[in-house]
Each structure stands twice: as structure tokens, then as C-alpha cells.
Amino acid sequence: MSIPTIPTAAEIKARIISDLETALSQTTPAFPKSWNRAIAGALAGFILLLYQVILWVYRQAFPETADERSLTLLGNLVNVFRLSAEFAEIQADVTGVNAYTIVDDLFMGSNSVVYKVTTGAVIALGTASVELTAQESGEIGNLPNGTVLDIVSPNPNLDGTATITATNTSGDDAESLDSFRARVSSAYSKRRTGGAPADYEAWGLETPNFDWISPLDEPDTAGEIQVYGRVDNQTDGIPSAGQLLELYDYLTEDPVTGLRTRHPIGPDVEPLAISRFEFDITISIQNGTTQIKADIETAVTLYVENQEPFNAAIRKVIKDTISEGGISSVANGVANPDSATVTVVLLEQVVPALTIQSYQLFGGIFGKVNTITFIDVV
């Protein structure tokens, strides 16, 4: 759909008058015709405003024409943010009395900008190197090495000047709207893919039956990526060899075009199946009926199997630990409403056999319940 052409107010008014006369089959006498023109004139202004609103909304969809607020929101979608003003941070030599600690003293440059000592130092052998921060943001705070600053308030322990030796952080003005617009537009026209962890997760989840993807750096080969996958149609969610080959195709090729436009040039990507680490669980319970025990078993099994390895690049919620405390909380959440109480939980890993308090999942390892045993407590 092309952008609509806005008619003038006179054109809108004439169209309304024509429509009224046609609908009413009325062209005379003069008084009704004047009334039609009055109504048409009032409506024309309102309709013209609606046209303008429609065009304004249309412009907000594109970085090239969006207003400042809308442009900021468009930039947020592609992780492009407007650069704020920066305060200049400079290093300078200050002379004065030995053993005096310089802190918070103010100096002024030839640019009329005040600089505050933000990282102080103790004067030794008559000189100390300190960091000063401009109290006004922007490029105006930048001064060349060798520039001498004058102290604002005389200090008997200082000679009264500071000589710039280096620029630690350059001052910079806030990014102009035109510059920001160009960067946002570039981000939309040159979508960056083929390297970010979120890209591999998105491509992997396009693969049929895969419902969990986690890309990680291969620990032994620089640049190689391991992508763990879980499916929803195999025992324990462990994909078959054929499914892993299909996952590889989706991670490297565009399924629509068949072009290898996904995995970037470099070491290969390695699709891997998740695995399951098994646990034996013993639960001591008071007043536990057969139904309560069955419900606890269901809830604990879901808890163990729904914990997952944490990947900081694509996950926000951390739920990567299976623990006695977690099992006890889940079990009591079922037992307590029915006047039962879980008193003790014992967690054991199956291979190698070992009693533990908790287990942290990593890589592509998920948990699995091997057995749940209940002990009735009087």
C-alpha cells in the first residue's frame, strides 16, 4: 500500500457537499445548500486532521522518517542506542607540599571549564599525578597535553597549577539526531546475524521438534561453537542422529533459499544432544497417603526434569540446580495442604553412586528421576 495523498481542505469540503446533495437529492433552495456548505466546512477540517494523523503513524514505522521518540524505540529493537554526552577525564601533574593528599580540588582551563580531582594522590618529591574530570560534558572539555590549568580556590599546600599529561577519556557531545538516525537505519538495512548466541538459538528453534537450544563456545577449539538441543518427540528429549543432522542444516543454511548464510566463516558448528543425569530420591513423610505420595512424585519429577543448564548469553532466569532444599519445598507444597509433612529428603546421584546435597547442571546436562522412595514417619 502506497502512502495516501492528502487532499486539500477545499477538495474535502467540495466532496462532502457533493455527497450530501447526492444523498439528499437536493440542490435548491439556497438555505439548505448554505447549511450543507457550513457542515462540509466543519467536517473538512476534522477529516484533514485524521489524514495527517494517519501519515504521522505511517512515518513512525521507518527509521528514515520517524520522530525522535519513535526513532529511539526503533533503535531499542535492534540494540542501537543514542550516545549520551561524555565528560572529559584528564591526567595532570600537580606540584605542591610533599605528603599532602590532593582530593576534590578544582582547577579551571582556558576553555572556562572547571575540572575536579576525582582520583587523588599523595604528593611525593613535589609532584603528584591525578585524574581530573570536567564538570561540563561535551567536546568543550578536551584540552591538549601541556595545557596548564589554574586552581579555582587557593590551597597553601599546592602551587596553584596543574599541567595536563594525558587524556583518559575524551569529552563528547550528545549524539545528534541525524547521526543516530543513520545508525538505526543501517542496523535495519544490515541485519547482523551469524555470530550472536541468540542467532543460533533462533535458528535451532526453527528446526522441527527442537524446543530447547543452547549455543556455547567449544572449550578446546577457538571459534568453534557447540549447540546443544532438546526435542519434544523423543525419550528424555534426546534427539536422534538424524535430528542432529537436521539441526546442523538449520544452523548453517537458510531453509528457504538453501544458501549457507547462517554460520559465519570459521571453525565448524557442532550440534550436540542433551543428556540426562539420574538421581535417586528418598523422602521421609508424616501422614502421607497413597494419593499424596503419588502427587509428590509427579511434582518432584517435574521439578527435577524442568531444571536446565544456565546460559548467560540467552537466558535470564537461573534454574540450574537440583537440590535437597528444592525437592523438599516442592514436596511440602503438595503435602502441607493435606496435613502431611515432608521431614527429610535424601538426594543421591546414580552414577557414580554418591549422596549429595545439590547438583548444578551445565552444558547440555539435564536431570532425571531414577527412583523416588517414601519412608513413613510416625
pTM of full prediction above 0.85: no
CA–CA distance, 333 with 159 (Å, rounded to integer):
72
CA–CA distance, 278 with 13 (Å, rounded to integer):
78
User: Cβ distance 90 to 164 under 8 Å?
Assistant: yes
CA–CA distance, 134 with 112 (Å, rounded to integer):
10
Burial level of 144, CB count in 10 A (0-12/13-18/19+)? exposed
Per-residue pLDDT of the chain (378 residues; tens, 9 = 90+): 455 677 777 777 777 777 766 766 665 555 555 666 667 766 776 777 787 788 888 889 999 999 999 999 999 988 788 888 889 899 999 999 999 999 999 999 999 999 999 988 999 889 999 999 999 998 899 999 999 999 999 999 999 999 999 988 888 888 889 889 988 887 787 656 667 888 898 888 988 889 999 999 887 777 789 999 999 888 999 999 989 999 999 999 988 788 888 888 888 899 999 999 999 999 999 999 999 999 999 999 999 999 999 999 888 899 999 999 999 999 999 999 999 999 999 999 999 999 999 999 999 999 999 999 999 998
Burial level of 311, CB count in 10 A (0-12/13-18/19+)? middle
CA–CA distance, 24 with 36 (Å, rounded to integer):
10
